[in-house]
Amino acid sequence: MIKVSEVFLKMENISKSFNKIKVLKEVNFELRKGEIHALVGGNGAGKSTLMKILTGVYKKDSGKILINGTKVEINEPKDAKANGIAMVFQEFSLVPTLTIAQNIFLNQEPKSRLGFIDDKKCLKRAQALLNNLNIDVPPAETIDKYSVAYWQLFEIAKALSYNSKILIMDEPTSSLSESETEILFDFMKQLKDKGISIIYISHRMEEVLKIADRVTILRNGENVLTENSSNLTLEQIIENIVGRELEHSFEWQKREIGRKEPILKVKNLNSKRYNLKNISFELYPGEILGIAGLMGSGRTEIVESLFGIKSYDSGEIMINNKKVGIESPQEALREGLALVPENRRTQGLILDHSVKNNILLPILKKLKGKLFINDKEGRNITEKLIETMSIKTDGINQKVKFLSGGNQQKVVIGKWIAHQPEIFLMDEPTIGVDIGAKTEIIELIRSLANENKAIIIISSELQELMAISDRIIVLKNGSISRTINREDIFSEEELQYAIQKG
């Protein structure tokens, strides 16, 4: 066992500005050998920027970095790699059709003397690495046979393949189920015992308290606290992140819904390709319907089928008692649906466009005056949304790619709110969103429902699902195993049990 005390990495007085705006203000951060150190903070607090400086993606304006007491210069990614610093990517960079070994050594394949890729050497090295990490899988197998939790482990193995001593993990559990998270946490504890230090970025505070030895909180580019996690409570962490008491909470409120005529009826939806079996349910105006289930249970497939992204073999979708045959997102929009997708980077935003253009995109037609687009109205809508959703941006013309992850997510939601659909489909709408904004988004969804909008929400965060849903559909292997009124569920554990057992 490594004794967690030796300071391994020190970042001293790190400052960084973008366009004269200081996003890091003399930040100090320290990492011990064999330590799991959580780096937390609100959206735009500066976590990623600090880590991008450590990994050589951005250059710091001032401050210094020391490893084992010696000052190091990290000016580009290869300097970070040479100093044993590796980032585990949240958006997986693995290729499903390649083997575990090929994925681990992708772009750094062992070569034969003649310069060809040496598959045997690759397999042997992968086996040694996997053995060392106690990952019991055959390296010659393709990775598509494994669950996302294992993909995470392969990503970590890949990061460790060049002898990294510091691992940076950015929201690693956001697409993992509870049991998969356990697999990852056990693995992280093993790495810790091997003397590897982990910087753990997360917006899930219960997990932070569970896995981290110490916690550093950034707020508005400043380090406001570094403390042993055993000395901290959940409330203290949240208060320091937000800088004030939370305005809203995760408490469930019973809402009255007039269940006369459903706005949406789904009857016997089947899809062999996407493994959906006899999906039938109804959604009422003003209702928030939660969808719970494990990864791969068919949650995303249902909303994508409704939105015309995925096709289905048989079944019926009715909106306002009229049968619809939605075959594309454009048709779905016309029928009054909107989807906040799970993967905002590829499906939700045009990163090179401004906040304003992204928000106005779905309503451009509505804004078109006789000859030109009504710019003033567009600006007003955008400014109002930025304010109500507390989107942290330099202005309405800032390119979305320069916003922090959580603020990008708010833009995705904002753009569909501006569109004012009758039916909202939301797939993990608060992934990457900080705790303060999460409660605000929950409140916002409630107010949409109070305006009689109908909402379907998928979330793997049960606390969130319990806080917001009026009814919950539980999915198992592509079928609805149960539909439960929220008032009949008394604890998160009960819902967890229903999800696992069906």
Ligand X SMILES: Nc1ncnc2c1ncn2[C@@H]1O[C@H](COP(=O)(O)OP(=O)(O)OP(=O)(O)O)[C@@H](O)[C@H]1O
Q: Which residues bind ligand X (CB under 6 A)?
A: 18, 23, 41, 43-49, 392, 402-407, 434
Question: Shortest approach of ligand X to residue 388 CB, angstroms?
Answer: 18
Question: Shortest approach of ligand X to residue 51 CB, angstroms?
Answer: 8
How far is residue 411 from each of residues 247, 343, 385, 429, 484, measured CA to CA in Å?
21, 13, 9, 11, 32
Question: Shortest approach of ligand X to residue 191 CB, angstroms?
Answer: 23
Of the candidates 102, 184, 107, 177, which has an alpha carbon nearest to the alpha carbon of residue 138?
Answer: 102
By beta-carbon proximity to ligand X, the closer residue of 49 and 181 is: 49
CB atoms within 10 A of CB 325: 9
CB-based burial label for 287 (10 Å; 0-12, 13-18, 19+):
buried
Q: How much is the CA Rg of the chain, to the nearest whole Å?
A: 24
Question: Shortest approach of ligand X to residue 59 CB, angstroms?
Answer: 12
By beta-carbon proximity to ligand X, the closer residue of 291 and 433 is: 433
By beta-carbon proximity to ligand X, the closer residue of 117 and 350 is: 350
Question: Shortest approach of ligand X to residue 358 CB, angstroms?
Answer: 14
By beta-carbon proximity to ligand X, the closer residue of 177 and 408 is: 408
Strands in 264-271's sheet, in edge-to-edge order, are 276-283, 264-271, 314-319, 322-324
CA 191 centroid distance within chain: 23
By beta-carbon proximity to ligand X, the closer residue of 287 and 434 is: 434
Question: Shortest approach of ligand X to residue 39 CB, angstroms?
Answer: 9
Of the candidates 38, 42, 429, 409, which has an alpha carbon nearest to the alpha carbon of residue 244?
Answer: 42
Question: Shortest approach of ligand X to residue 104 CB, angstroms?
Answer: 27
By beta-carbon proximity to ligand X, the closer residue of 24 and 279 is: 24
By beta-carbon proximity to ligand X, the closer residue of 60 and 392 is: 392
Angle at 494 between CA 492 and CA 495, to 5 degrees: 65
In angstroms, rounded to a whole number, what is the distance separating the alpha carbons of residues 165 and 34?
9
H or E element that contains 241? helix 234-242
In angstroms, rounded to a whole number, what is the distance separating the alpha carbons of residues 458 and 465?
8
